Amino acid sequence: MTLRVLGVDPGLTRCGIGVVDVERNRRATMVAVGVVGTSPEETLDKRLLVIALAIDEWLDRYEPHVLAVERVFSQLNVSTVMGVAQASGVVIAAAARRGIPVALHTPSEVKAAVTGSGTSNKEAVTKLVTKILRLDAPPRPADAADALALAITHAWRAGSGAAVATTGPGSLSLTPAQRAWADAEAKARRGR
């Protein structure tokens, strides 16, 4: 069975959206990618409406099994955090209306899943998303690549159950980045 994940990198100015199909063997294929943009000159209600209408269209068109959204975390810029949180809420509510499960992933989880390091920069994430999805050109802007990375992260995590086997027969199909991410996840669980 193929798992279809719609990944969302939420934001008011640029909201990245990407759809990825992932097979049991973890082979990922991009279905669609895009960015919804809104102008800071528009009122908040109009900006959120643009995002809501776009996510409704993507959910209806691509019928994902699950939605993966970047988890909002504290930043120094409170207004940026608020915009991301508001955009996330609109996206999550759209999925809930359709009964589509929503998973939240932190930026460091996504970086670790895709690159093998939770501290990788955006260029590294974009480069590996391009390689993983066998794309001819990197998805641009970075918000689009981040949305695809979120979808890949969730599919790889969901495809493994609660955790990915890092030793034994099941580990042979893991990429080095997947193995590093699974090891980091297992270590974090032991530390709880």
Q: Is 45 annotated as belonging to a binding site? A: no
Measured distance CA(56)–CA(13) in Å, rounded: 18
Q: What are the DSSP E strand ranges found in 107-180?
A: none
Is 41 tagged catalytic?
A: no
Identity of the amino acid at 5: V
Measured distance CA(128)–CA(108) in Å, rounded: 15
Residue of 9, 21, 109, 146 with catalytic role:
9
Is 143 tagged catalytic?
A: yes
Q: Is 70 annotated as belonging to a binding site? A: yes
Residue of 109, 143, 146, 185 with catalytic role:
143
Q: DSSP assignment of 9-60, as one string?
A: E--SSEEEEEEEEE-TT--EEEEEEEEEE--TTS-HHHHHHHHHHHHHHHHH
Q: What are the DSSP E strand ranges found in the chain?
A: 3-9, 14-22, 28-37, 66-70, 102-105
Residue of 70, 109, 146, 185 with catalytic role:
70
Q: Is 57 annotated as belonging to a binding site? A: no
> How many CB atoms within 10 Å of residue 19?
23
Rg (CA), the chain: 16
Is 146 tagged catalytic?
A: no
Q: Which residues belong to the annotated binding site for Mg(2+)? A: 9, 70, 143
Q: Which residues belong to the annotated binding site? A: 9, 70, 143
Catalytic residues: 9, 70, 143
